Chains A and B, each alone.
Chain A
Amino acid sequence: MMEHLRVWAARFAALFRKRRLEESLEEELRSHLEMAVELNMRNGMSPEQARREAFLNFGGVAQTKEIYREQRGLPMIETSLQDLRYGVRMLAKTPGFTAVAVLSLALGIGANTAIFTLIDAVLLKMLPVRNPQELVLLQWSVPSGNPAGSHRMDGNSWEEHGRSLGTSFSYPTFQQIRARNQAFTDVFAFTGLGDLNVLADGEASLARGQTVSSNFFSTLGIHPITGRMFVETDDRVGASPVCVISYGYWKRRFGGDSSIAGKAIAIAGVPFTIVGVTPSEFFGVQPGSAIDVWVPLHTKLLVAPASDPRFPDFSAADYWWVLMMGRLKPGVSERQATAGLDLIFNQSVTADVASDATPQVGKRPVAAALELVPGSKGLDSLRRQFSRPLFILMGMVGLVLLIACANVANLLLSRARSRQKEIGVRLSLGASRGRLIRQLLTESALLACLGGALGLALAYWGSGLLVRFISTANNTLALNLTPDIRILGFTAGMCLLTGLIFGLAPAWRATKVELTPALKQNTTGLAAGRLHLGLAKTLVIAQTALSLVLLFGAGLFVRTLVNLKNLDTGFDRENLLLFGINPLKAGYKGPALNDFYTRVQQRVAALPGVVSATSSLHLLLSGSSRGNSLWVPGYTPKAGEQLNARVMPAGPKFFETMKIPLLRGRDFNEGDNEKAPQVAVVNETLMKRYFGDRDPIGQRIGWDRAKPEMEIVGVVKDAKYNSLRRDTPATIYHPFRQATNINWMHFEVRTARDPKTLIPDVRNVVASLDRNVPLFDLKTQNEQVDELLLQERLFAKLSSFFGLLALLLACVGLYGIMSYAVLRRTGEIGIRMALGAQRWDILGMVLRETLVLVTIGVALGIPASLMTTRLAASVISDLLYGLKATDVTTVGIAVVLLMAVAAFAGFLPARRASRVEPTVALRYE
């Protein structure tokens, strides 16, 4: 073994001392021969004879040297280097060809790498913490509905595969699990606080906050770059409030102040002390959302007071709000851990179910089962949101790459044709076919690597662009896009694969040369190449079919977006400025809170350039909504029917400002306050569903049977609430001063001019009333719709880009092959013209050939497109809106577009053919 290693090391070292070793060999052999000659002469031979005898005894000198060289170095590597040098020379000789090929590949590989970079960041990257693979996230599951023992739930819960899942637990459950578990080295609790109002150096601004148990950082293994992290005593009622800030926030807000530890700031009006800063790579445990400020769990009572005193945050077992992550002890499997944890969890819950005083009527809640999910990549909401779109995009760019490969293969084929003579010579001089294929493959690998390197650069730039694109103004995605070993490996693999795909067939073809004709042939002869053109045409047809698939997909996505954007929302989206405020975070409570909202609305409405202003709890088309069960006297529910409606607490002039047409009755006004009788406005859907033919005006409705307290004072036309795709829900509009739990407020401002120009005025109004009240969601209604349609826009824009890219690549391929065909047939065209063919006939002939290719491609592409989109739509619902996955119009548009562009690509060579001078052509060979 050692001996082999020695031999290889010696051989490898020899690669770098080639010239010296070569001289040494030369000298040694010369010395040998001279000694032999000398000896022979001493033995009485003539100089002539002595020389002959010496060479005879030695054997072939050149042969010996060759054997010696093979023994000395690594011939495989040496010939590869030789091939590489030769390849570089060949590529440099044809810069046009090289540029087109490299650019095609760079676009293809770049697009793939960019999407893969996102997949890597969203789906594959581990948290930058100590041994992330030991981390698990705790999760409960029930067959449906809410788990037993949870009266109020804050945090994530969702439906999946017919089960309800969630990740929040009560604080007592956390305490029990932390104290009694056998599976974890430690387990910590945390929950998001949303945006916190931070006052530092006399300036208020919002920061993304998270509240965590004191062992959060120690369990994750995060060490401060300055100051300290939390200790056990920080997380107690009455402890002096401290916080830890992120590296990014430290740099951004405090200019990286090195004496930051000990600095006093105010969070939500409460004095806090900054004790430490986390390392730069740590962003929290949720990819895509970077936390600025961490505070101990118990300070939640200070910065985000319980809005409902019936649910004490820390002692109630029926208020589920903390998330938990644990670090498994080495050697403990998730399965082993789950059993023990489930027991503790259910004991902590059943203790509470027994004291359940008000069991829900109807569905009896089911006890939940505890599950562990891998936490190495952090929380997975981003993964749930983006994994399917990313895979669709990955499929699209995969097709683009295939088209690019076909292009390069075609280029290589036509080049191989012009190199037939060279290859013929080399074969006849004794080069083996394998050796030549290797040489040609080296060239294509070189092309692929150049394309890959350029593609990597494109991808780095492109993925950043993509992230900015899927981030919205109010929700910046903080993703780590630095190329890691996985991305580099992906790109390298991509280069290797593409190099083989587009290189192998041309290389195989090129070396299958009949020697005699090839040597005699001049490059434009008629005999050879028929078959080769067949392969090239097949490639062009495949390209056309594939680009039709992409164009069709793009068409579907674009039309979906257009359908959604042009949808009648029931209110006027133009000239509408929106913003939200959160005075609760500046200490306002109860009636003072409502007064503040009213004052803001009145002051904004009085601004010059403002037509009218109103307010509502949620913005329309923001994805958020409030819902409630409903009691309608006089309406008999069908068996099992539960009455419910979406509720929108709103301010005066809501319908006037939003331009939602009133069918009957009146708008809200200043008089609809706490002291006035409760009123409501309902929409058409609600009226039709629960009142039928009856006139709802003057009727009473309520939230429960006990007291139908609201009187209906108006009916409005349907307007979309939280979603564009879903039908308008039965909706109740309700004056916000008569509603409960209005913890923040949004405002809608109808403007006479560009709403963006009013942003500074609006800021001034709020600041002049109270500069501690933070503003958020400042945007126009159209921007809000764009945010809602984020995924649709992403699909529409990217698929159009990739579709057009595919079309461009396919047309370059088409242009290339037709140009080549025209060139080969110059002689034939000359004969035709000499025999009386008109220029138009020639133009028509070439164009016809182009269109035959394209038509075959389209004929294959249409069924392929329909199958692909049907498959995609069946896997992912909600991909399209307002049209089917097999939409005929879209197919038509895609086909016409493809044909038109292809005809143009074919027209150029056709025109060249028609301009052939017969006299020149006939002499042309």
Chain B
Amino acid sequence: MQSFKAEVLQGTLDLLVLKTLDTMGPMHGFGIAQRIGQISDDLLRLNQGTLYPALLRLEQRGWIASKWGVSENNRKAKYYSLTRAGRNQLRAETAGWERMSAVINRVLKVTS
């Protein structure tokens, strides 16, 4: 398999963040960036900086909440956690994503 690195799409990043917080519980920004990198086997190239405007956007919409806390290495860090609205949103977006990828897969199979 050829190695490739893809830019993370704007809407997709939101979904990835929500999913990460859903499975891992409250995390700080750096942790979220690490986690997304690990899960995708570093196949997704994430400019870590872009994570922060995304976190702000999600927070403004009320899907995540933030709180200052202390990291495992005793460092002050801002922790993000999923809200109830965020959980609903994740469910909706996951379903949407699955439908979309199924459709695309089917189209690709037909034409190849």
Contacts and interface: CB of A to CB of B under 8 A. Distances in A.
Interface in B58-74: 59-62, 71, 73
A29 B30 CA distance: 9
A32 B29 contact: yes
Nearest to A66: B53
A31 B53 contact: no
B48 A68 contact: no
Contacts of B73: 35, 38
A6 B60 contact: yes
A768 interface: no
A35 B71 contact: yes
B28 A68 contact: no
B69 to A, nearest CB: 11
Interface stretch (A54-62, A497-505, A770-778): A54-62
Contacts of A58: 47-49
A27 B71 CA distance: 14
Contacts of B60: 6-7, 10-11, 71
Contact of A64 (B28, B34, B50, B78): B50
Nearest to A21: B56
Given A11-B60, A32-B29, A59 B49 contact: yes
Contact of B49 (A24, A60, A71): A60
A72 interface: yes
A63 B47 CA distance: 12
Contacts of A29: 52
Interface centre among B52, B57, B78 (most CB of A within 10 A): B52
B28 A57 contact: no
A64 B62 contact: no
A71 B56 contact: yes
Contacts of B30: 31-32, 35-36
Interface in B19-77: 28-30, 33-34, 47-50, 52-53, 56-57, 59-62, 71, 73, 75-77
A11 B57 CA distance: 10
Nearest to A10: B60
B33 to A, nearest CB: 8
Contacts of A39: 34
A32 B57 CA distance: 18
A28 B61 contact: no
A67 interface: yes
Interface string A20-47: 0000110111011011101100000000
Contacts of B52: 25, 28-29, 64, 68
B75 A68 contact: no
Contacts of A203: none
Contacts of A60: 49
A9 B29 CA distance: 24
B62 A6 contact: yes
Interface residues of A, number: 28
Contacts of B53: 64, 67-68, 71
A10 B61 CA distance: 9
B77 A35 contact: yes
Contacts of B71: 31, 35
Contacts of A25: 52
Given A57-B48, A59-B48, A61-B49, A31 B75 contact: yes
Contacts of A3: 61-62
A72 B56 contact: yes
Tell me whether chain A's interface is mostly helix, strand or loop, or mixed. Answer: helix
A629 B49 CA distance: 101
Given A34-B75, A35-B71, A38-B73, A28 B29 contact: yes
B84 to A, nearest CB: 14
A71 B57 contact: yes
Contacts of A68: 52-53, 56
Given A6-B62, A67-B53, A71-B53, A31 B48 contact: no
B89 to A, nearest CB: 10
A32 B62 CA distance: 23
A6 B50 contact: no
A8 to B, nearest CB: 9
Contact of B76 (A31, A57, A61, A64): A31
Contacts of A27: 76, 78
Contacts of B28: 31-32, 35
Contacts of A10: 59-60
A25 B55 CA distance: 12
A31 B50 contact: no
Interface in A165-208: none
A7 B53 CA distance: 13
A6 B60 CA distance: 7
A28 B78 contact: yes
Contact of B50 (A11, A38, A59): A59
Nearest to A9: B60
A10 B77 CA distance: 22
A630 B77 CA distance: 108
Nearest to B73: A38
Contacts of A28: 29, 52, 77-78
Nearest to A3: B61
Interface string B91-110: 00000000000000000000
A35 B61 contact: no
Nearest to A36: B30
Interface in A277-314: none
A34 B29 CA distance: 12
Contact of B47 (A32, A35, A59): A59
Given A31-B28, A32-B29, A35-B73, A6 B61 contact: yes
B49 A31 contact: no
Contacts of A7: 60-61
A36 B60 CA distance: 26
A11 B60 CA distance: 8
Contacts of B56: 68, 71-72
Contacts of A32: 28-30, 33, 48
Contacts of B77: 28, 31, 35
A40 to B, nearest CB: 12
Among B29, B60, B77: residue with most chain A CB under 10 A = B60
Nearest to A38: B73
A864 B112 CA distance: 79
Contacts of A35: 28, 30, 71, 73, 75, 77
Nearest to B72: A35
A198 B102 CA distance: 96
8 contacts: A24-B78, A28-B29, A32-B30, A35-B77, A38-B73, A57-B33, A68-B53, A71-B53
When A and B form their complex, which 9 residue pairs have the shortest distance between CB atoms, in order from nearest? A64-B49, A59-B47, A59-B49, A10-B60, A35-B30, A32-B30, A58-B48, A7-B60, A71-B53
Interface of A: 3, 6-7, 10-11, 24-25, 27-29, 31-32, 34-36, 38-39, 57-61, 63-64, 67-68, 71-72
Given A24-B78, A27-B78, A71-B57, 11 more contacts: A6-B61, A6-B62, A27-B76, A32-B28, A32-B30, A32-B48, A36-B30, A57-B48, A63-B49, A64-B49, A64-B50
